[in-house]
Homo-oligomer: A and B are copies of this chain.
Amino acid sequence: MPDSARFALHRPEIGPCLERGDEAVARLMAASVRTFDAGTAIIEMGGEHDLVHRVRAGWVSRVRPLPDGRSQIIAVFLPGDLFGVKSMFVTRHVDAVEAVSEAVVECIDQRALRDAAARDFDISVRLTWQVVEEERRLHNWVVGLGRGNAEERLALLLLDLRGRLALAGQIDALATEYDCPMTQQQVADLLGLTNVHVSRVLRTLREEGIAMMRAGRVQITDLARLEKLAYPLQDLFEHAEPAFGRHGP
């Protein structure tokens, strides 16, 4: 699946390292592949668990339900992403992880992965990249939620998903449409809005001829204007720039 630029980096020498690490991780996990229906829990909230997961196909989300019924999606994981890397250091997890679409997920015991990382430097690079990349995305997301209005957040989301799907090799880098299995309620929980308002903002984007999101598919009809909308929230340095080259052996 991953061709050349599965991991886009400013330090090109790391690319092959990450590629190999990713393949090695996938090989290690190949023994334990499971499929989850859309909407089912992959990791229960509040439980203890010792597994590091990797998305093989489908979309997955980290969700925090509030005691009063509200809920917030904290992150979305796409094919190729690792999640629960934190399991290597923390046993108890406060949020649930759910399948957004039908999802194929593989996993490995955190201890076995740690041993593998100790033996194979590529694997440890791959793990670290995931953590650093995740923190970068969280920072961007805090900015979007804190300072973006509904239109800006939605524009940012559509572009972010496009970019990540392209990196994951799911779509062409220049593609202007892609499948998106999220319901409007899920988009709302991710953007910190209500489903009703998401519907309204989508309507204006549609009427303006900028983008459409319908029947599980996103179509960007005016990329330039969409980017202009999201511009204030955009991370100017699109991708992290790991300095693994400096690592000793």
- Give me the interface of A with B, judged by CB distance under 8 Å: 10, 46, 62, 64, 66-68, 70-72, 74, 86-92, 94-95, 110-111, 114-115, 118, 128-129, 131-132, 134-136, 138-139, 141-143, 145-147, 189-192, 231-233, 235-237, 240-244, 246-248
What residues of chain B lie closer than 8 Å to A246, measured between beta carbons? 110-111
Docked pose: A72 CA to B92 CA in angstroms: 30
A139 and B139 contact, CB distance less than 8 A: no
Q: Which of B92, B111, B231 is close to A67, meaning CB atoms less than 8 Å apart?
A: B231
B91 and A147 contact, CB distance less than 8 A: no
A94 and B237 contact, CB distance less than 8 A: yes
The minimal Cβ–Cβ distance linking A22 to chain B, given in whole angstroms, is 16
Q: Which of B67, B146, B235 is close to A72, meaning CB atoms less than 8 Å apart?
A: B146
- Chosen A-B contacts, 6 in total, with CB atoms closer than 8 Å, are A66-B232, A94-B237, A110-B243, A134-B135, A142-B142, A142-B145
Output the residue of A46, A71, A72, A143 with the most chain B CB within 10 A: A143
Docked pose: A237 CA to B95 CA in angstroms: 10
The minimal Cβ–Cβ distance linking A129 to chain B, given in whole angstroms, is 8
A143 and B233 contact, CB distance less than 8 A: no
B64 and A143 contact, CB distance less than 8 A: yes
Docked pose: A64 CA to B144 CA in angstroms: 11
The minimal Cβ–Cβ distance linking A227 to chain B, given in whole angstroms, is 13
Docked pose: A136 CA to B138 CA in angstroms: 11
B46 and A237 contact, CB distance less than 8 A: yes
A147 and B90 contact, CB distance less than 8 A: no
The minimal Cβ–Cβ distance linking A126 to chain B, given in whole angstroms, is 12
What residues of chain B lie closer than 8 Å to A138, measured between beta carbons? 135, 138-139, 142
In this complex, what residue of B is CB-closest to A146?
B192
Docked pose: A231 CA to B243 CA in angstroms: 40
The minimal Cβ–Cβ distance linking A135 to chain B, given in whole angstroms, is 6
Q: Which of B92, B143, B236 is close to A10, meaning CB atoms less than 8 Å apart?
A: B92
Q: Which of B72, B87, B88 is close to A142, meaning CB atoms less than 8 Å apart?
A: B72
B232 and A70 contact, CB distance less than 8 A: yes
What residues of chain B lie closer than 8 Å to A68, measured between beta carbons? 232
B235 and A94 contact, CB distance less than 8 A: yes
The minimal Cβ–Cβ distance linking A99 to chain B, given in whole angstroms, is 19
